[in-house]
Each structure stands twice: as C-alpha cells, then as structure tokens.
Structure 1
Amino acid sequence: MDNQLLVSLTEKHGSPLYVYDAEKISSQYNRIITAFSAVKNLKLNYAVKANSNISILKLFKKLNSGIDTVSIQELQLGLEAGFSPEDIIFTPNGVSLQEIEQAAKLGVQINIDNISILEQFGSLYPTTPVCVRINPHIMAGGNRKISVGHIDSKFGISVHQVPHIKRVVENTGMLINGIHMHTGSDILDIDVFLAATEILFNTANEFENLDFIDFGSGFKVPYKEGDISTNIEELGEKLTKRFNLFCKEYGKELTLMFEPGKFLVSEAGKFLAHVNVVKQTTSTVFASIDSGFNHLGRPMMYDSYHHIQNISNPNGRERYYSVVGYICETDTFGSNRRISEIKEGDVLSFNNAGAYCFSMASNYNSRYRPAEVLIYNGKDYLIRKQEIFDDLLKNQVLIDLD
C-alpha cells in the first residue's frame, strides 16, 4: 500500500486507523491452495479469531474458504456473513456443554478437545458427527504463550489418551468423523511440524469413519527484513505426498484441512497512528502516538515485533526512537527502533497489523476503538466506524444513587 494513500486515509477516516489489503489476503489464501494443489480434497477454514470483521469474513466467503470458530459469537458472525453451517467448524476450549449444544443445533462441525465434554455430548447426541482435537505434545515454534501443542497445554486431548477416547466412542456409539491438532503459531521447523502430523496419522488409524484430518495451522509470517517464515511450498510438497499415501492405505479419500488465520491476514494489515509528542529524556527519545496497547496489544502481551515506519517522512535521516502509547502505564510498541526522523504530527505505520490486533482491542482508559478500512479492487471502503462517546455508554445502566 502506497504511503501517500495511507496518510490520506488517516485524514479521511481519522487516527488511529486499521487498513487491510484484500489483494494480499487473496494472494496468501491462493498460495496455500497452490502449494497443496495435488491433494484431491483440500479445505481451508479461516480462523475467525485473527480478524472477525464481517467484511473480512465476506471476502473469505468469496474466496470459497470455510471458517474456524472458537466461540458461539464467532459462529454467529460467520452465519451472518453468509457461510453455510457445513462450511463452519466450531473449535472452542473450556466452554460449557450448553454452548457446544447450541453450536450443534446450528448444524456446524463440532470439534471437542476434552474427554469430559466428549462423553457428555456423545451420550446426548450419538448421531451427531464429532471431530476430536488431539494434543500431540509437540512444541512447533514460537514463544510458549502462543504454542498450544506442548505437554503442558490446556488444549486438546493427550495422544496418550486415545484408548480413553475409543472407550467413550464404544460406550456412547458416537461417530468420530475428524481428527484435529493445532501446534500453535510461528511454526519455525517444518520437520517438527511433520513429526506432529505423523502422530495425527497414527491416531487417525484408530478411527474407521473419518471424513477429514485437520492439521491446524500456525504458519509463520515474516515480521522484519530477513526474518524466517514457514516455507508453505516445501510443506505442501512433503505433506501432500504423505497425506495421499495415507489416504491410499486408509482406503478412502479424506479431506485435508487447515485453519490459517495469521498467515492469511497478518501482512495485509497496517496500523496507522499520529505522533502526539516527541520527548527527549536523558537517555531516550520517545515518540508518543495517539494510541496504546488498548488498540494494539500484541507487543505488550507477548513481545511481538511490528516493524514501524514514518510514512510522513520515509526518506528522512534515520534516528533511534522508542515508540510508546498514551495509556497511563508502561505502554511500549518498540524500543530503540531506527526510524526516519519523526516530528510531531507525523504518521507512523505498523506492519503485520491484520491479525490479532483489532480483534484484541479494548476501551481501556475509556478510549474509543479505531476505525477499519479495506482496500478492495483499488478502492478504500470503511468497514468499521470509529467509536464515539455514546458507544462507551451504550450498555451501561445509570442508577439513581440519591
């Protein structure tokens, strides 16, 4: 996206602002499709939690994607966006049986990740097909806060508990139609991920009536120049060969599923903010922007890196800055960053802002959540209005204390 265009969008829609590039989203989606083109039945289910704006969901519907949802509200958003129930998989963690029942009644694919709920659900709804989420006990990459397939993770049923799963199936007569895993974000080593897939293939052999195997996602995207990312093409070549062989041995053409989120939308997003104050201290130059971790929480939550550019002065002399927000506690986006000289009023652009950014935004400090814009076919569309004061009061109930 052109710098001048981005600056003009802040003038048009206000600041801070999220901007997404539909062309980049489409190219990332098609990159996976191409990498696994030799698989007869391939299904991508976009992970809604990465960015749940309904216009983004409609874009994935247009791309022929399914969706992966982790809450009943995400599921309902998917239905609102036009997805058919059969194109939705429901993969919650730690929710009540009642929420899973509600999802099942809507006709979506249920994915269960603990034996207690599996047994209760199977006893009540033995004819409703269920996918089982397996924990392969594999650390595939990324920091521990975003890795969910290791032995201490709350997610999934341990691969060592497969005999228990089979006992539940035998006692309830329920149908297991899918096997699933998700190792977490930022897969660094394809061979480690492939080792986890072998665990899933071995588990799949324990069930006779499967329709699909869901390998989750967690494909890594680059965050800065020279950064490593998951080699989708190499993974596609290796996993396709193994999957096709497995289907032949299993005696049935299964569907290979993935549920990418960050890989599809992260690089498509920019977060734009104006500089309020440039502050020189005895040791640091701070660039304070008109936003904070209430709008972009990833750096403070799990030390994520977002490349920062001064798009108002892209060719200026580079200096070192710590870019901070306006929240009244430590609120740092980047320390000691080399950025083109910053003046008050300049617009800074944060890369990789398409995933887990607006979806994690809040009204902390009673600040408004920002607007969102989608660039589609060369035109900018406002897809969420910036909040106003009335939005802060909308669901509050004023009581008479006299």
Structure 2
Amino acid sequence: MHLANNQYVIQNTPVLDLCNEFETPLYVYDGSKIEEKVNILKSTFSDVNMKIKYACKANTNISVLKLMKTLGVELDVVSPQEIQLGLKAGFSPKQITFTSSGVSFDEIENSVENDVLVNIDNLPTLEKFGEKYGNTVPVMLRIRPNVVGGGNLKIMTGHKDSKFGIAIEQKDQILALVNKYNLDVVGLHQHTGSDIKDGQTFVDAAKVMLELAFSFPDLKYMDFGGGFKVSYKEGDAITDMAGLGKILTQEFKTFCTKYGKELELWFEPGKFLVSECGYLFAEANVVKENPTFTLIGLNTGLNHLIRPMMYDAYHEVINVSKPTQAKDTEYNVVGYICETDDFAKNRMMPSADQGDVFCFLNAGAYGFTMASNYNSRFKPAEVLIYKEKVHLVRARETMEDILKNQILVEL
C-alpha cells in the first residue's frame, strides 16, 4: 500500500474504493507482495535444491493457497482440515507435508490415507507408526534442537522447555525405534521459532540437525523450518536474508558432499510470505475523549485481529481517510469487543473523525486464521488483488453462518 495522487492504493486500486465496495471490516491481500517474498527466498537459496513449504496455518484462504501453488510453493499443514484445503486448492498429496504436534493417531492415519508425508514429533507416536506401518510408509522426524530463537517466549519453539519436537537428547531412543521397525526416515525437521532476526540462530540449529543426519543413511530432505523476521514498522530489524543464504548454503553444500548425495533443503515460512501482503481495514465508530487520553473505537476487535492482545504484537495503524494530514494528535486505538482489546496506544495520527477508515499493516499472517465469532460478531470479507485484478475470495459472514450448526431444542 502506498500513496498515489494523495490517496492510498494497492496495485493502483484506491483502498477507500475497496472499503466502499466490500464494506468494513475488510481483509485485503496484495498478491504481488507474496510473489515478491517467494522470489526473495528462491534467490536467497538459488545455489541449492531448495523447496518452499508454506506454513499455511498463517493464512489458509484457498485462493491464497492457489496463488502459492501458481508460484511454485508447496505446503506444510498441521491438521486434516488443512490437508483438505490444500487438496481443494489444487496441490497434489506429494506436495503436502503434515507436521504433527501431539495429535491423535487417527490424524496420522488420515495423512497416510491421503498419501501425505507425515512429520512425527514424539516417541510414543513414532512407536505406533512403526507398529502399524513398519517401513512401508516414509516418515519425517521433527527434532527439537534446543536452540533459543524467536521474538518472544510465546513464539519460540526450539528451546529445551518447548512442547515441540523430539528432544535431541533422545537420539538413542529415536534410533532404537527406527531400527526396531526398520522405519523409512526420509527427512529431518526442526523449527526454532518465529521473528528470528539473528541469522546465527538458524545456523546453530542447522548444525545440530546436519550432525544428526549422519545417523540416517537414506534421507531425502532436510527441513530447517521458518521464522524469518519481517518488518512491522520503519527501522525495524529484519533477518539478513542475503547473509543467511550465503552461510546456510555453504553449510548445506558441505554437508551434502560429506553425506554422499544432494538432499533437498526445505523451508516452511508462514509469516514471512504473507504478513506484509495483508491489510485489515476498519471504520471509526467513535472518537472518545477522556480526561487523560483520547481513543478511537473501531468496528473491529480482537475477534478479527487477536495478535496485539495475544502476543503483544505491534501493528502500524494508518488513518487512510486523512492521507496527507499531519500526525499531530495522540490516540489509543481500541476495538468494539466487550473485553480490553487495545490495538495500539499512544500513537500519533492525524486528527480523527467518526467514519474515518483505518488500516492495520502486517495483517496477512495469523489475522483471519485466528479470527473468531466472539460476541457473536461476523467474520470479515477477504479480498485478494493480483496482477491488478480485484477478487472477492471470502464473503462476509451473515447471521445464517452464526446459526448454521446450532440446534434450538425444546426445553
């Protein structure tokens, strides 16, 4: 989104026109930004056999998934429902990996039945997998490398106290099960966390995984996860992709030479691919003056964007109705939910009026996918713009959607 002719536009479409046509609250996704991010990752690791496995929990709109497929991206999913969404969007089962996290064994069986590669994260499930399938079905192993990385504790997944993965200290137990059932281990996986700006964290985790790989002679894939840091505001630190690519590429090529064959290097970015493509537009219901502060109350809340409340995440908020006015007034920006749903505090903005339209940046990842019907409110519509064409990719909910699965009983 940028200014052109004194108005904000996305791919030459004025954002206020979008809000007038589709109403607010409204999620809008810029497909060109997704394409840009995909190309950055491809060029960063152009010297190795790299695949992008989009962590689709970040944004599962099937049109976004279809765009990913068009761009040559494959899928990492975490539920049977995401498998079905991927298939619906046109992915083949071979392009989908199911990364489990303490799921019931029937979800493992469902993945196998759908011919989707399973990534197992605990020893009891690995034992059950061996008992049922032996070496007839390939499997990946999710390892916890005990490397600390991520923006905050809530989004760190590779440290020693994390619930995720099989601890690296349990290597002997892993190998015992692999040998007991003659398991066909085709890949090793780790994911350290999200919002990792220090490339050394990726390198440290990779070294742990590459050393472990020599214990598995028939690997085809090494999955180093995702977590690349994106920018949330001007001057924000991001992952040095060029530097990281150079170091990790050399580490991986050296490993492949020692291992005796070229493996595929996988990454599974989610936020990196879709965070910056997304915008949430909302309208000011009220500008409320208090003795100590003034707040802008929007027609959206934590039911549509929970990240600020759940993760203390920062989102830039822009008054798109006042694109050229000076930012001379301080506001708190809040939602309309019957909870404390503060989006932003002490933000300098142009003087606001009821009816002004505001935009949350970096709303493409974990925005709509974490949305709810709390307070029995509707989820927003979603729009995708790609190659300057505007597509409605999800209709706004109605009361029929709220009531759809409810049953009114005679009491």
TM-score (norm 1): 0.98
Q: 2:155 matched to 1:132?
A: no
How many aligned positions are there? 400
Say if 1:85 and 1:106, in contact at 8 Å, map to a contact too.
yes
Out of 66, 74, 80, which is 2:82 matched to? Answer: 74
Q: 2:331 matched to 1:321?
A: yes
Residue correspondence of structure 1 range 3-402 to structure 2 within 5 A: 3=8, 5-39=14-48, 41-126=49-134, 127-318=136-327, 319-401=329-411
Letter of the 1:70 partner, please give it: V
Deviations 1:230-269 (A, max 9, x none): 1111111110111011001000110000001100000000
Provide the C-alpha distance between the structure 1 equivalents of 2:184 and 2:291, rounded to a whole number of angstroms. 67
SS for the counterpart of 1:183 is coil
Deviations 1:97-129 (A, max 9, x none): 111011111111110000000011011111111
Provide the C-alpha distance between the structure 2 equivalents of 1:379 and 1:342, rounded to a whole number of angstroms. 31
Provide the C-alpha distance between the structure 2 equivalents of 1:103 and 1:299, rounded to a whole number of angstroms. 34
Consecutive unaligned residues of structure 2, counting only runs of 5 or more, are 3-7
Q: CA offset at residue 295 of structure 1?
A: 0.3
Q: CA offset at residue 334 of structure 1?
A: 0.3
Q: CA offset at residue 141 of structure 1?
A: 2.3
Moved more, 295-304 or 338-347: 338-347
Provide the C-alpha distance between the structure 2 equivalents of 1:123 and 1:234, rounded to a whole number of angstroms. 44
Letter of the 1:60 partner, please give it: M
Consecutive unaligned residues of structure 1, counting only runs of 5 or more, are none
* Seq. identity, %: 51
Deviations 1:337-386 (A, max 9, x none): 11122111000011000000000000000000000000111121100000
Say if 1:267 and 1:353, in contact at 8 Å, map to a contact too.
yes
In the other structure, the counterpart of 2:5 is: none
Say if 1:287 and 1:324, in contact at 8 Å, map to a contact too.
yes
Letter of the 1:206 partner, please give it: S
**Aligned CA-pair RMSD:** 0.8
Q: CA offset at residue 173 of structure 1?
A: 1.1
Provide the C-alpha distance between the structure 2 equivalents of 1:192 and 1:162, rounded to a whole number of angstroms. 21
Moved more, 267-276 or 189-198: 189-198
Q: CA offset at residue 317 of structure 1?
A: 2.7
Deviations 1:53-94 (A, max 9, x none): 000000001011110000010011001111011100000201
TM-score (norm 2): 0.96
Say if 1:16 and 1:291, in contact at 8 Å, map to a contact too.
yes
Say if 1:141 and 1:189, in contact at 8 Å, map to a contact too.
no
**Aligned structure 1 segments of 4 or more residues deviating by more than 6 angstroms:** none
